[in-house]
Amino acid sequence: MNNKTINTSNQNSNNNNNNKILVTGGVGYIGSHTCIELIAAGYDVVVYDNLSNSNLEALKRTEQIAGKSIPFIEGDVLDKQLLHQVFDEHDFFGVIHFAGLKAVGESVAEPLKYYKNNVTGTLELLEVMQAHNVKNFVFSSSATVYAEEETSPIDESAGRSCTSPYGQSKLMVEYILEDLVVSDPEWSTVSLRYFNPVGAHPSGMIGEDPRGVPNNLMPYISQVAVGKLDKLKIFGSDYKTIDGTGVRDYIHVVDLARGHVAALNLIKKHTNIGSLGFEAINLGTGKGTSVLQLVKAFEISTQQVVRFQLTERRPGDIDAYYGNAEKARQLLGWQAELTIVDMCKDSWHWQSLNPNGYR
Ligand code: NAD
Ligand code: UFG
């Protein structure tokens, strides 16, 4: 069946000029925004998603914004046979791999589900890519791979260690990629370590659509503002930070999406001079914002009231972390451009136009 697995030309697809990208998890929050930026940059996109945490309405709206239809395959990255078929049918330059589960708490309760989906799923995908000689790979990693004791701004050489199965699954994939590029120098892999993605497309048509009560701060704030939730519980006010509340490096999802285009462009540039191997790159703004600062910024920029209450710390949280964004600037020629005000305005625009998300 997989006649394309025998590469008759014996040429690594790293060396062709194909613009076609497989986006796994492309119906999800970050994937959908990235499809728009990829298409705007001239890439052809094929989306592969099992819809376990997303809604096809997001893809429809993504197509509307992009002004282009996007081929879609409903499938699981654990379904190797289907992946082979997809690689038989399309000649990909590379893969951006968003597909994965991401709830830290759930990963503690159901570790096997997380390791299977995030680690085994990635292994299956990498094996299929290798069989089809497609060796350009951009991976959704997370700042959670950094050891807690590292001081901010955290750069890419900082120590790594994780406490949750979710974090471990990201770290394991990074180790796998590091070993893979040693075994086969034709691979170009970029592990993008996201800080805290927030915001939505400025059109208000697509955005983050958490199922149930949100775990993360920005969707929680937006749902309080829109009246779906009563008030925000601020977890901890005695941290050693500017105002006692936790500090994070929030990054607008549109900036983040553009970071993926920059990562692909870096891989492309390298195909002329050899493969890239493995590069880990932070995607953040390099600036920390406290919970209270974010709440105030949201209120001022949207003219909405966000009721809140200071409560106990959330177990597992740390006081502050933000990234060093210098490597991204130098290597990718990319830096975040959108501000905290943009993040708040766009989150609110999406939330107020779609109080129930895509449903
Ligand atoms: P999301 O849940 O909105 O998107 C993930 C998509 O992958 C969903 O559409 C889901 O249906 C799909 N998917 C999940 N498992 C799959 C499988 N086995 N096969 C095929 N499709 C599958 O999440 P997101 O916020 O867009 O995150 C994308 C990636 O970025 C994830 O890997 C996540 O771990 C990583 N990440 C996210 C954040 C964040 O805060 N959002 C931070 C750091 C890293
Ligand atoms: N917070 C509250 N109240 C809430 C939710 C959050 O006060 O209802 C606070 C947290 O204590 C923290 C800050 O808001 O100080 C940000 O919390 P988030 O849950 O939005 O984000 P985290 O930094 O805890 O975690 C995020 C992702 C993880 C990822 C990690 C590192 O959710 O998946 O960033 O990338 F692993």
**b (16+ CB within 10 A) / e for 116-138:** ebbbebbbbbbebbbbbbbbbbb
Residue 5: band (very low, low, confident or very high) from pLDDT cuts 50, 70, 90: very low
Instruction: Give the per-residue pLDDT at 168.
Output: 97
Pocket of ligand 2 (CB under 6 A): 102, 104, 142-144, 194-196, 215-217, 220, 232-235, 246, 248, 291, 314, 317
271 pLDDT band (50/70/90 cuts)? Answer: confident
Task: Please enumerate in sequence order all residues whose Cβ is within 8 A of that of 241, keeping only pairs 6 or more positions apart, or say none.
Answer: 247, 288, 290, 319, 320
Q: Name the percent of the chain lying above pLDDT 90.
A: 91
| From-to residues of CATH 3.90.25.10 in the chain | 217-248+286-353
Smallest CA separation from ligand 2 atom 16, residue = 217
Give Rg (Cα) of the chain.
Answer: 20
Domain 20-199+250-283 homologous superfamily, CATH: NAD(P)-binding Rossmann-like Domain (3.40.50.720)
Q: Is residue 11 over pLDDT 80?
A: no
Tell me what the pLDDT averaged over the chain comes to.
Answer: 94
Shortest-distance atom of ligand 1 to CA 76: 19
Question: Could you tell me where in the chain the CATH 3.40.50.720 domains are found?
Answer: 20-199+250-283
The structure's pTM equals 0.95
pLDDT at 3 over 90: no
| pLDDT of 263 higher than 50 | yes
- Please write the tens of the pLDDT for every residue from 282-311: 999 999 999 999 999 999 999 999 999 999
Chain segment 38-47, per-residue pLDDT in tens: 999 999 999 9
Contact 325, 336 (CB under 8 A): yes
- Residues whose beta carbon lies within 6 Å of some atom of ligand 1: 24-25, 27-31, 49-54, 76-78, 98-102, 117, 121, 140, 142, 194, 197
217-248+286-353 has which fold? UDP-galactose 4-epimerase; domain 1 (3.90.25)
**What contacts 169, CB < 8 A, 6 or more positions away?**
100, 107, 114, 115, 117, 118, 119
State the average pLDDT over residues 108-137: 98
pLDDT over threshold 90, residue 78: yes
Is 70 exceeded by the pLDDT of residue 249? yes
Checking if the pLDDT of 32 tops 60, the result is yes
